[in-house]
Structure 1
Amino acid sequence: MYVVLVYDISLDDNGRKRWSHVFKICKKYLTHIQNSVFEGEISKVQLVKLQRELDEYIDKQQDSVIIFKSRQERWLDKEFWGVKDDATSFFI
């Protein structure tokens, strides 16, 4: 499946440290495209692993993670307004 993951980590109560952990975990599974936004192809099993890893660092009273799911990237209509920095267009 293709997902877009967006997170908002509060900077209160050790938030910078939590933010750092969340960023590193997301980067293991998805492509970083903008500030607190990641996207990419991921299996259901990988998504469960990602959620389990994030659960350790997300403060459910202060932080939020939103995942938008699509069957494939081609079903996602993506537009850029302003600076176009499409990190997903780079292939290694």
Structure 2
Amino acid sequence: MYVIIVYDISVERVNKVKKFLRQHLHWVQNSVFEGEVTRAEFKRIKTGIKGLINENEDSVVIYKLHSGPRREIIGVEKNPIEDII
């Protein structure tokens, strides 16, 4: 499955979450990651995020897609991903 993860996390936790997500997904922009993952990897990502955030203060939105998205960039692409159409 293809996932897009967007987050709004307190400053003291944001670097830990970003470092964790970089191990699994492509960094697209500040607070945005995306990529193709297996179901098992998706479960590991969710568990890892839950262990790093404060669910009473932080917000993480996960979009699950069955196929890769079509992307259109307006302006500067922060971190190009070559394998996305």
1:87 corresponds to 2:80: yes
1:2 corresponds to 2:14: no
Q: Secondary structure at the match of 1:89?
A: coil
Q: Which is higher, the Rg of structure 1 or of structure 2? A: 1
Q: TM-score, normalised by structure 1?
A: 0.81
Judging changes above 3 Å, is the alpha-carbon distance between structure 1 residues 65 and 80 closer, same or farther for their aligned structure 2 residues? same
Q: Which amino acid aligns with 1:79?
A: E
Judging changes above 3 Å, is the alpha-carbon distance between structure 1 residues 85 and 10 closer, same or farther for their aligned structure 2 residues? closer
Q: How far apart are 1:77 and its partner, in Å?
A: 2.5
Structure 1, gaps ≥5 residues long: none
Deviation sequence 1:16-57 (CA, Å, 0-9, x none): xx1111011101110111111111100111010011111111
Higher helix share: 1
Q: TM-score, normalised by structure 2?
A: 0.87
Q: Report the count of equivalent residues.
A: 83
Identity among equivalent pairs (%): 35
Aligned partner of 2:23 in structure 1 is 28
| CA root-mean-square deviation | 1.5
